[in-house]
Structure 1
């Protein structure tokens, strides 16, 4: 039989949750302001992992007695410092980019779907078509390239109406980008 205790809470517990939520929120805003705009950008695997970890710390802090607020502040500080350190490593070493990040992968070269690459990134054709619709593609001949980015986002590069080639720099670091250059360049 259900005792109903998990439906209710005491006034003191509610006040504790509110005060803890306000406290951890203020700390998060402060750390985000100190760390800068990149904090929640999801520009790299590390950024994404830190965003998820921060959410976990916030939830644990707000809804449970353990960890206490002070420990959560330390945990947030550690996460922000790790992200900052990783971004410094990434800025100063291409080798660290390879260690810390997934490589972006070309999944379409012009109108051609690269099925092997689609399989490697565990994306279905239906997933791909959904992303093409979101990018306002109405015909496959409008597509110059589609890239699965390091964060799992999908970038759709539209064909230039004047037929100008895609600049090589835009495909720097993209796995199989040479295939696009070979077939359409």
Structure 2
């Protein structure tokens, strides 16, 4: 049975009201799922977290546009499924180093001690101009101050600059 025949007519006002109500219900459902699963759910600390966030947004949009209750319910169940998969993946990663290695990319040096790592830039398909933009964003004034630039597992770029670098901050970073 279609939503329009149950509650709403097909005027633009009714369509807008349906969209707002369904979007609100979907967002409230996400809040409930985040409260159950924890704040880490949308943290973007790993590539799984990033995919989770993007997929969740798509499902919320699908729920807000659902033309019948089955499509809406399917989107809501799929959201819960995403949280469950993320929860299980985190548990597996935590309990096994081999699973961690299989599921997670290594962070990579793009720059080290003021020098570009050209092989890493080529391997990771990061343009030097994009890296320079990240250096500007991090308020780097001199390449000589750059201790390390790291392409993180999430795709974020970390710029570490200053007079001294504690080596424990980069002990798991891969050199290409």
Shared fold, TM over 0.5: yes
Counterpart of 1:93 (choices 88, 91, 96) is 96
- Moved segments of 4+, more than 6 Å: none
Matched residue count: 166
Partner of 2:45: 43
Secondary structure of 1:34's counterpart equals helix
Is residue 66–residue 72 contact of structure 2 (8 Å, CA) maintained in 1? no
1:143-173, CA deviations, whole angstroms, 9 ceiling, x for partnerless residues?
Answer: 101000001100011132xxx4x33321132
Is the contact between residue 63 and residue 76 of structure 2 (CA under 8 Å) also seen in structure 1? no
Q: What secondary structure does 2:130 align onto?
A: helix
Gaps of 5+ in 1: 1-7, 180-185
User: What is the TM-score of this pair, normalised by structure 1?
Assistant: 0.83
What residue in structure 2 maps to residue 20 of structure 1?
A: 22
- Structure 2 length-normalised TM: 0.87
* Secondary structure, aligned partner of 1:108: strand
User: Runs of 5+ in structure 2 lacking a partner?
Assistant: 1-9
- 2-side partners of 1:95 and 1:9: how far apart? 56
Q: Say if 2:114 and 2:147, in contact at 8 Å, map to a contact too.
A: yes
